[in-house]
Structure 1
Amino acid sequence: MTESTWESVRSRGMDVPDDRPLHEMTAELVQMLGDPEPRVREEIAYPVLTAWLQRGVFDDLLAGLGDGIVSGLGFGLGRDGDSSVIRRSYSALMLAEIVGRDNDVHLVQAPTVLAWGDAATSWYVREFDHRGWIPEMGWAHAIAHGADLLAALARSRHFGALELTVLLDVVADRVLAPTAYTWRHGEDDRLAFAVMTLLHRNALDTTLVEPWLARLGAGLRPPPTRGHLEVEWPTTEARNTSAFMRALHLQLALGVQGRSDLRGDAALFAEQPTDRADLLLAVLDQIRAESPWLYRPTSRTPVP
């Protein structure tokens, strides 16, 4: 189908054309997700696929569609600075929508969703290209789209305490990993929201979460020196970690809301996480320790 034909599909309300097999059109749209031209992927491929997902067009094919999308996570993995990141990033974004659909309609079996989770986390911690906006290509946003995928997996009924703990560790691995890229396009907020989604499941004890926060806090403090700084501080990853911790603090303090188009989010986000008060204080402890010369020490009094 020509680009103009896809434009007409969009202009007619995203109705599924009846003159071509669905699998052929789907394969074409999936290929378009990796197009370096932003209009092709962001104004045609992604919205058309998402609309068809939400209307149930792929409900009988959901597992196969997800398996096909997962393969895009490995496309050019290990490269940095070329266009291959577009395919990986938009595969993550599309897989988040597929997991979200399953969270709504409960069609995909646990082994399949868990396999998607394994592929997603393996890709996410190995993604080197953290560019948000790329001139001439628009949004890449692999870190933000990966965070959206983690949030979708955190909502899954197939993810229990063990799997949620793995997601938590993956977030720490991603935040703390050395990088040359400073996150400046909302990546910290998107990752913090993924963690908030996980916390709203109320499946993890604070005895697991607090050591995780301490691990992140350790990444905020400079290494020991012998009278002089041996490396520039803060490093890029330390700045990213600091931004993430502050985003998590703010989201815990203010509260977050889910997506209006996901059926389960109203109930999931109806109340604050059970251990919110303790978690908020634990986050503050790590932020305070980053600059002990600046912040006044306070007692761990529960926050209302």
Structure 2
Amino acid sequence: MAMSGSYWRGVRAQGGALPADRPLTDLTAELTRMLGDPDPQLREEIAVRMLVDWLTQGVYDDLLVGLGDGMATGLTVGIGERGTDSALRRTASATVLTACLARDTARSLVPAGKVLEWGDRVVAWLLTDRDLRAVVPGADALATLSASPHVGRPELTVVLDVVADRVLAPTADRFGLAEADTLARTTIAVLRRDVVGLDLLEPWVMRLGVGAMEDARRTGNAEAFLRALYTHVTVGRRPLGVRADLVLLLVDVLREINADLR
């Protein structure tokens, strides 16, 4: 039997501790259903917050594979739709899946193949979802995936390609600050691993530059991303082995895009 909103608000008001009056499977099923609730309090403040908190506390350590699989399935709910409430479920599922990935990186609880499978599911969603409201947590999931010890240079190269594909995707929707910055942070997460060198970054930046010039009269998303990436590379406090070379690349590309300002 479904638990009422007042039940969950009571749990939250008591600090969000795991209730003792219901089996964990029932609680999880109900919270998972609420990930698609149009009420932001039930969806974000209760369902997402409690699942993430319980993950961080280790409640799901023995059940992490099953929970992650459930969240990966949530990425496909209503895929292809635009402007519908199904985007809420996909977004919330991505946030919880990100917490699953982070927990495994911290505790090594999931087989490497399963982590890479979750990564594949995130990639597939990012490249097929046409509702840009939903995809920002997907970039966060890729950033968290990039920190996993199960992910090496080939997978990190794929992450960069996915970022570029998302930036260059044909759309009439302009990025807001959150989208451009989140995708830039994902790129920084890849670069912090210090396994992707200039040999891969140079053609990647050039591809984005060409796309930005072609896109200038439409959304300007590619240029917005390049500007955000430049900011993150130059002001970030953590060292990047490719920082100096990447800054030069980005400056050259941004100057070419904005040749009329010279």
Q: Which residue pairs with 2:13 in the alignment?
A: 11
**Equivalents in 2 of 1:250, 1:177: separation in Å?**
22
Correspondent of 1:56 among 38, 55, 58: 58
1:250 aligns with 2:217: no
The number of residue pairs the alignment matches comes to 260
Q: Which residue pairs with 2:257 in the alignment?
A: 290
Q: Give, in angstroms, the shift of residue 293 of structure 1.
A: 2.8
Task: Report runs of 4+ in structure 1 exceeding 2 Å deviation.
Answer: none
Q: Which residue pairs with 2:145 in the alignment?
A: 153
1:280 aligns with 2:261: no
**Equivalents in 2 of 1:100, 1:286: separation in Å?**
34
Secondary structure of 2:82 counterpart: coil
Q: Give, in angstroms, the shift of residue 274 of structure 1.
A: 0.7
Match for 2:170: what amino acid?
P
Map 1:1-304 onto structure 2 (within 5 A).
Answer: 1-131=3-133, 142-222=134-214, 233-236=216-219, 239-255=220-236, 271-295=238-262
CA contact (8 A) 2:212 2:221 kept: no
**Equivalents in 1 of 2:214, 2:42: separation in Å?**
44
Q: Give, in angstroms, the shift of residue 64 of structure 1.
A: 0.9
Match for 2:173: what amino acid?
Y
Match for 1:246: what amino acid?
R
Match for 2:125: what amino acid?
W
CA contact (8 A) 2:79 2:128 kept: yes
**Equivalents in 2 of 1:39, 1:73: separation in Å?**
21
**Equivalents in 2 of 1:73, 1:165: separation in Å?**
22
**Equivalents in 1 of 2:132, 2:136: separation in Å?**
9
**Equivalents in 1 of 2:179, 2:20: separation in Å?**
40
**Equivalents in 2 of 1:197, 1:208: separation in Å?**
16
RMSD between aligned residues: 1.2
- Deviation string 1:95-132 (CA, Å, 9 cap, x unpaired) is 1111011111111110100000111101101110113x
- Deviation string 1:242-266 (CA, Å, 9 cap, x unpaired) is 111000000100005xxxxxxxxxx
**Equivalents in 1 of 2:212, 2:101: separation in Å?**
33
- Deviation string 1:197-254 (CA, Å, 9 cap, x unpaired) is 110110111110111010000011138xxxxxxxxx5211xx1111110000001000
Match for 2:89: what amino acid?
R
**Equivalents in 1 of 2:153, 2:108: separation in Å?**
19
**Equivalents in 2 of 1:217, 1:93: separation in Å?**
30
Q: Give, in angstroms, the shift of residue 185 of structure 1.
A: 4.6
Secondary structure of 1:74 counterpart: coil
Runs of 5+ consecutive residues of structure 1 not aligned to the other structure: 132-141, 224-232, 257-270, 296-304
Pick the structure with greater CA Rg. Answer: 1
CA contact (8 A) 2:35 2:92 kept: yes
CA contact (8 A) 2:44 2:92 kept: no
**Equivalents in 1 of 2:214, 2:153: separation in Å?**
32
Aligned identity (percent) is 47
Secondary structure of 1:221 counterpart: helix
The structure with the greater share of residues assigned to helix is 2
TM value normalised by structure 2: 0.96
- Deviation string 1:134-172 (CA, Å, 9 cap, x unpaired) is xxxxxxxx2211111111111111110000000000000
Match for 2:91: what amino acid?
S
**Equivalents in 1 of 2:217, 2:239: separation in Å?**
33
